[in-house]
Structure 1
Amino acid sequence: MAKVAFLGMGVMGYPMAGHLLKHGHEVTVYNRTMTKAQAWVSEYGGRCCATPKAAAEGQDIVFACVGNDDDLRQVVAGEDGAIHGMAAGAVFVDHTTASADVARELAALLAAKGIAFLDAPVSGGQAGAEKGVLTVMVGGDANVFAAVKPVMTAYARSAELLGDTGSGQLAKMVNQICIAGVVQGLAEALSFAKNAGLDGEKVVEVISKGAAQSWQMENRYKTMLKGEYDFGFAVDWMRKDLGIALNEARRNGSTLPLTALVDQFYAEVQAMGGSRWDTSSLMARLQKCQDK
C-alpha cells in the first residue's frame, strides 16, 4: 500500500483516484473546484485538501491529470504547488497530455529537490479510466518506473517505459496522430455507405472482422450513424493534443499533412458549436458539407 495524492478530479482523474483507493492505497485528492474533490471523498472515502501543496505533504507518490502545460506548471510549481509539500525521495507522476518540453522542465525543477518525475500520459478515454483499463506511456528513470508501476496497475492494463523524460508525451503524440486519421477515415467510410444506400451497421459488422477493424470502429460506429456525439473525448481536447503534436513535428522535421488537415476539420466542428462533442463528430462535419 502506498500513500498517494491525486491532483485533478476531471473525467479521467476522478475514476483513476477511485481505483487507487479501491486497491488499498491511502488517497488524498485535490481539485481546483473544491466541490468535485468533496464529491469524490463522499463517494469513495479518503480525504481532500484545498491546495496541491497540502495534498502532496507526506505522500510517496503524487499523481496529476489536469488540462494543459500551464495547469500542470501551476499544480506543480505555483505558490501552493505540490513541489512545496513533497519531500526528497517522493515521486511525481504526470498523467496530463502535455508537451515534452514541460515534462523536461518540471523534471529538472523537481530533481533539484530530490523528487523523481515520470511523464505518463494515458490512452483509453473516460471509459478506460472508469473501467481501470488505461494504457500508460511513460518517460523517465527505469528504477523509478519499476517502483511506481505496481501502483499504476490499479487503473491501467498496460504501462510501458518508452525512454527518458519526455518520451511518454512524445508517444502520446504518436497515439493522437493515429487516432485523428482513423476517425476521419471512419467518418468518410460511414458517410459513403449511407450515400450508397447500404445498411451502415451491417457493413461494419462485416468489415470489422477484417483488416479495417479499429477501436474507433468497434466503439463509435453506432453512435456516429445515429449522429450522437455528446460523450467521450471532446473536440477541444483533441485540438489541444494535435496542436502539441504539430508543434513538435515542426521542431523535429516531421511532415504531418493528414494530421494538420484533420485538425482544421475539428476547427470547423468547433465553429458548428461542437467544442464539447466527442471526436467522432467529424461525421457531423461531413454531413453538413453534403447538406449544402
Structure 2
Amino acid sequence: MTSPSIRKLRLGFVGLGVMGEPMCANLIRKSGVPVYVHDLDSERLIRAVDAGAIAVDSVEAVGAEADVIFLSLPSIVQVEAVCASLLDLGRPILVVDMSTSDVARTRLLAERLAAANIQFVDAPVARTKEAAVQGTLFISVGGSHELFETVQPFLAHMGSDVLHCGDVGCGQIVKVLNNMMALMTINALSEILTIGRRAGMDGKQLFDALARSSADSFILRNHGMKCLVPDSFPEKAFPVDYAIKDASTALQLAEQVDFHPRIARYTHDVLCTAQEAGYGLNYHPVVIRVVDGRVASTLGEL
C-alpha cells in the first residue's frame, strides 16, 4: 500500500466510543472515500450512517470491504479479538490501532498479523474529546516509514499533530508515557491546590499565578483551571476507570524494562482509591478528593 493509490482505498472503522465516534466522523467527512463502520451500540451506528458511513453487522464484514481498518477500542484485549476475526479473510489489509494498548502485546499482535499478510500500525491518540471533535488530536505512530506514509493523510483528518515515532510499538510507548505524565501532573496539582487553599489562598488566583510562572503547563491550564479549581468532574469524560487502565499499562511497561517507578505507582494507587470511593465513572481529576482528604484513604507515603 503506497500513497499514490490512496484515493482508491476503502476505509473501515471499528469502535465508536467517546473518542472513536468523533474521530470516525472526521474521517468520513474529510477523506472522500467509503468508510465501513461497526460497533456493538446500534445508536452509535445510526449516527455514523447519518454522518455518511456505511454500517455493517460484523468485524468480518468490515474486513471484507475495507483496505485500511482503524480501531478505537477500550484495550488490547478487544484489539486482539477484533484482529483475530480478520485473520482468515485471505486478503491484504492494513490495521491501524488507535487504542491505548500494551506495548509487548501490540508487537506480538503485529507479528501474528504479518504471518496472515495483514500489515499493522499503532497510532494511539492523545488530548481531549473536544480535540477529537475538532480533529486536533496528537497521534503517535509506530510502524515502518512506508506504512506511515500510507496512513498519515488519513490520520491528518483526525489529528493536527501526527508524529512517526519509530517501529511498531513506539506509538504506544509515547502514548502510555504521555498519559502517565499527565496523571502524575494532575496528582501534583491536586497537592499544590490543597496546600495553597489550606494556607489561605484562593485556588483560582493560585493557578492564575502559576500559569504565568515556570510551573505553567497544558495540564494546569486545562485540567487544573477547568476541573480542579471549580471541583467539576462530570461523567462521560475520560473517567477514573479508564485512567487506571492507562496507569496500569504504564506500570506494566516499566516492569517489562525492569524499572520500578514510585511516583507513577503512587498515582495509580490514588486513582484506585477514588474508584473504590465510587468515582470510577467521574472525570479522572476527581482524585483531588482523595488527595485533599475528602475521601478516606489508607495510602501511605512514597
Common fold by TM > 0.5 = yes
Task: Indicate the TM-score class for this superposition, using the shorter chain for normalisation.
Answer: over 0.9
Q: Please, which of 129, 137, 154 is the counterpart of residue 151 of structure 1?
A: 154
* 1:123-167 deviation digits (Å, cap 9, x = unpaired): 013122111111111111110111110110001111112121111
Distance verdict in 2 for CA 1:32–1:189, change over 3 Å: same
Contact 2:290/2:296, CA 8 A, preserved across alignment: no
Q: Secondary structure at the match of 1:82?
A: coil
Q: Are 2:72 and 1:65 aligned? A: yes
1:39-58 correspondence runs (5 A): 39-42=47-50, 44-58=51-65
Q: How far did 1:101 drift?
A: 2.1
Contact 1:68/1:96, CA 8 A, preserved across alignment: yes
Contact 1:234/1:279, CA 8 A, preserved across alignment: yes
Q: Are 2:115 and 1:108 aligned? A: no
Q: Secondary structure at the match of 1:162?
A: strand
Number of equivalent positions:
287
Equivalent position of 2:169 in the other structure: 166
Query: Which amino acid is 2:232 matched to?
Result: E
* 1:21-71 deviation digits (Å, cap 9, x = unpaired): 1102321111122332123212x1221111111012232210001011211
Equivalent position of 1:134 in the other structure: 137
The whole-number CA distance in structure 1 between the counterparts of 2:269 and 2:257 is 21
Q: How far did 1:10 drift?
A: 0.2
Contact 2:289/2:295, CA 8 A, preserved across alignment: no
Q: Are 2:218 and 1:215 aligned? A: yes
User: Which runs of 5 or more structure 1 residues have no equivalent in the other structure?
Assistant: none
Q: Are 2:199 and 1:192 aligned? A: no
The whole-number CA distance in structure 1 between the counterparts of 2:226 and 2:96 is 36
| RMSD (CA atoms) | 1.8
Contact 2:190/2:292, CA 8 A, preserved across alignment: no
The whole-number CA distance in structure 2 between the counterparts of 1:229 and 1:131 is 22
Equivalent position of 1:206 in the other structure: 209
Q: Secondary structure at the match of 1:62?
A: strand
Query: Which amino acid is 1:258 matched to?
Result: I
The whole-number CA distance in structure 2 between the counterparts of 1:125 and 1:68 is 18
The whole-number CA distance in structure 2 between the counterparts of 1:290 and 1:207 is 26
User: Which runs of 5 or more structure 2 residues have no equivalent in the other structure?
Assistant: 1-6, 298-302
Q: Are 2:22 and 1:15 aligned? A: yes
Runs of 4+ in 1 over 6 A off after TM superposition: none
Deviates more, 1:8-17 or 1:53-62: 53-62
